[in-house]
Amino acid sequence: MKRLFLAAALLALPASAIAQKAPEGGAWTECMVGDIFADRDRLEIGCAGKTAGPRRFALEIRDPLAETLLRLAISAKDRNRPLGVLFVMAPEANPEGCDAEICRRLAAVNLR
């Protein structure tokens, strides 16, 4: 519940304020949602375009942020708007099935 409240609070902040509050070991990036993947264990979004760094972001389906991520990702894709994504840089934190070469654990999202 605390993480859901934190995510809601982050959504209310302007992107510039959020970028300054990225936790140690985390980074913000922008993602134009290309695809949304869900299975019984993981929710994952893929970003359209080819840029350096991770282009897929995931979290466990049981994570309190999963429902919010799904709603925001669908909205961003439908409206052709980017998501601001705070992700954990260390691949060791990845959910199972999140490929260390291209995917990272998602920590927060912001519809821009």
Predicted confidence band of residue 10 (pLDDT cuts 50, 70, 90): very low
Please give the C-alpha separations between residue 31 and each of 5, 8, 9, 40, 103, in angstroms, as whole numbers.
Answer: 22, 19, 20, 24, 13
Helix, strand, coil percentages in the chain from 3-state DSSP, rounded to 5 = 30, 35, 35
On the question of pLDDT at 23 being above 80, the answer is no
Number of residues that make up the chain: 112
Predicted confidence band of residue 53 (pLDDT cuts 50, 70, 90): confident
